Amino acid sequence: CTLAYCSIVYVVSKQPPELFRFGLFLLMCTAVTLLTQAVGVLVGCSLSIKHGVVFGPLAIMPWVIFSGFFLHISDAPSPLQWLFHTSFLKYGLEGLMLAIYGYNRGRIACSDDYCHFRKPSKFLKEMDMSGASYTHSLGVILAMYLGVKVVTYYMLRYQLSHRR
């Protein structure tokens, strides 16, 4: 399912036909998919259906807000900047941006006389991702995945031992 989705998105958005970039794109999408699925299982085994439907989306909202897409880390007040580093969506976004615009990608073709983001490095800098690392982002997502899986195991074990 992830392969089909990523293939369509990559081709339709006219990304460079480079197997290396597509592989990085697919790997990051798969890692984020596995993590979000694990979070869904955790919510599903820890809450009732009625509460899960309400609190599941509310639980993911801070991760969306602090992903770096809507609000850049440099624009946030200093006391709130640590929240960006808890968002798996931030690391997923960084990984996808680096897969597409990093690794010495050539100039982007523009049809206008002036194109502000002709250089991919300029776009990454504008998105506060010039110092980001793909392997670090992937590592954080995989560590979060393992952490959520461990918590899910203990939550499920607790739920099963207290079921009557």
3-class secondary structure per residue, the chain: CHHHHHHHHHHHCCCCCCHHHHHHHHHHHHHHHHHHHHHHHHHHHHCCHHHHHHHHHHHHHHHHHCCCCCCCHHHCCHHHHHHHHHCHHHHHHHHHHHHHHCCCCCCCCCCCCCCCCCCHHHHHHHCCCCCCCHHHHHHHHHHHHHHHHHHHHHHHHHHHHCCC
Closest CA to 61 of 30, 83, 29: 83
What pLDDT is recorded for position 28?
93
Q: Is the pLDDT of residue 164 over 70?
A: no
Label residue 38 by pLDDT band (50, 70, 90): very high
Assigned domain for 111 exists: no
Max avg pLDDT among 3-7, 124-128, 145-149, 155-159: 145-149
**Domains identified in the chain, total number:** 1
Is 30 contained in some domain? yes
CB of 72 closer than 8 Å to CB of 127:
yes
Does any domain span residue 52?
yes
Flag whether 110 is in a domain: no
Q: Which domain holds residue 139?
A: 2-104+117-161
The answer to whether residue 136 sits within a structural domain is yes
Q: Residue 127 burial by CB count (10 A; 0-12/13-18/19+): exposed, middle or buried?
A: middle
40 within some domain: yes
| Confidence category of residue 34, pLDDT binned at 50, 70, 90 | very high
Q: What is the pLDDT of residue 32?
A: 93
Lowest mean pLDDT among 96-100, 120-124, 142-146: 120-124
Tell whether 84 is covered by a domain. yes
CA distance 90 to 102: 16
Q: pLDDT value at position 102?
A: 80
Domain annotation covers residue 15: yes
How confident is the model over 14-40, as a mean pLDDT?
90
Query: For residue 126, is pLDDT > 80?
Result: no
